[in-house]
Amino acid sequence: MPIKRVFHWQPNAGTTVNSQLLTEVSQCAETFNGVREGRWKPNLTFYKPMQRDQTIPADLPRDFLGIALPEQPNKYFLVIRGRSIVTEADSTIQVIMEKLQSYKSRISFTFEGIQYQLGDFLLRVGKVVPTHSENLRGIVMEVEYLPISSIEKGKVIMDEFFDLWQEALSNRSLPGHFSHIDTNFSDFGLSDTYTPQHTAVQYACVMAQMIASVQSVQALRS
Amino acid sequence: MECVVQGIIETQYVEALEILLEGLCGVHKERLRIHELCLKTAPNLGVVASEVRLLCDLEQPEPAWTVRHIGGAMRGAGADQISVLVRTMVESKASKTVLRLFYALGYKLDHELLKVGFSFCFNRGAQITITVASINKMLKLHATDEAVPVTPGIQLVEVTAPASSENYSEVVAAMTSFCEYLAPLLHLSKPGVSTGVVPTVAAAAASLMSDGGHTTL
């Protein structure tokens, strides 16, 4: 499948994300002659262990994430970022997890946005909102380059596209910038050929980054 | 949900059973080599202790993993009257990291088995799968190449069919009628209800072997 790179909005110190920012970014995509193609709505759920006795310490993951990708409706992706594990499963794994009653959903987020086509690129921009809520928690952007499925081979063109995009955005003097974390996919046992598992890993990294920046803002305030 | 019955047959009669099944099912057999790992929750994890099975199909060019959860059997007077066990069962295919994932989630290996044999999948009023396999244990962790039979000379026969709460009675009927064809060779019953081998097996097998399955049993 084509390579993708996922970015998150890094607000400048002292600023927060708001829906106006998302409007500006969407307008920018349209000035790139982006053709609106439809909606984009992946879903991410953090699970927490159900312990009979909370007082007994256990080495259980706190960052266990389940991801539903709209382009893979029959699949579900499970990621434990801290242990570098990604597993692709049928969507029935959710029923199994429910029946096992060992982990339960702590909080779910949706990336809710629009997809634009810009030549050979697909650009998706969306807000990060907790499911059943309108509270904006962040902004994510995903760039897909259709002709290439090798991450290494697509690196230069991705970098070039992002430079152009940053330049276009910089004209708008927005209080922050899009940031990308270079993920070492081989740590997760993934190869250079892009798969939906690579997307799941990138989403997990973006969520971790977003949570970390929210926590650091909260720490500064208190 | 699935419907299931099990039985046993001595290895010396498996070839006769295979001939009979080829005639009955009208499909070719598929070779079966499955490494089954049964995992259980560590103490304190989960509302109740739970168990999940990871099946690794070693017959595929690349080992293919499936997660299987077997739930409670249907209970009550209706369930007691039928000769087939109806239970909840959910399966999900998974990528090769699934064992590491469950270990990281706090599951521990309880036991592992290697099932070696063959299966037939066919449609006869229900999508029936019959597997005939020797059950082997590993003397060393995951050492599937050095597996030894748990019960030498005896193989497990299992008949399963997917069902739903709406259609399970038709599936039970289809399975029961299929199992009757096998009665001269083996008796099939609910898992856990041991019925042993049948006295007619030697004669029935000899008859099948002599004419390649053309005899009406």
CB A128 within 8 A of CB A203: no
Instruction: Give A69 to chain B, closest Cα distance, Å.
Output: 16
pLDDT one digit per residue (tens) for chain A, 222 residues: 999 999 999 988 888 888 888 899 988 888 888 898 889 999 999 999 998 887 777 789 989 999 999 999 999 999 999 999 999 999 999 999 999 999 999 999 999 999 999 999 999 999 999 988 888 889 999 999 999 999 999 999 999 999 999 998 988 888 999 999 889 999 999 999 999 999 999 999 999 988 887 776 666 666
Pick the CATH number of A3-40+111-220 from 3.30.310.180, 2.10.10.90, 3.40.50.2000, 3.40.220.10: 3.30.310.180
Domain boundaries, chain A: 3-40+111-220
Locus of tokens 């990060």? A128
Q: For A102, which DSSP code?
A: S
Q: Do B90 and A103 touch (CB under 8 A)?
A: no
Task: Give the one of A56, A95, A101 whose C-beta lies nearest to B46's C-beta.
Answer: A101
Task: Give the one of A61, A80, A96 whose C-beta lies nearest to B92's C-beta.
Answer: A96
ipTM for the predicted complex: 0.92
The DSSP annotation for B95-120 comes to -TTHHHHHHHTTEEEEEEEEEEEEEE
In angstroms, the CA B155 to CA B132 distance is 7
Contacts of B88 in chain A (CB under 8 A): 99
Q: Does A32 touch chain B (CB under 8 A)?
A: no
Q: Does A60 touch chain B (CB under 8 A)?
A: yes
CATH 2.40.320.10 fits B2-212, yes or no: yes
Contacts of A198 in chain B (CB under 8 A): none
Q: Does A78 touch chain B (CB under 8 A)?
A: yes
Task: Give the one of B41, B90, B97 whose C-beta lies nearest to A96's C-beta.
Answer: B90
- Count of pairs with CB atoms under 8 A, one residue in A, one in B: 95
Amino acid identity of residue A173, one-letter, is: S
Domain boundaries, chain B: 2-212
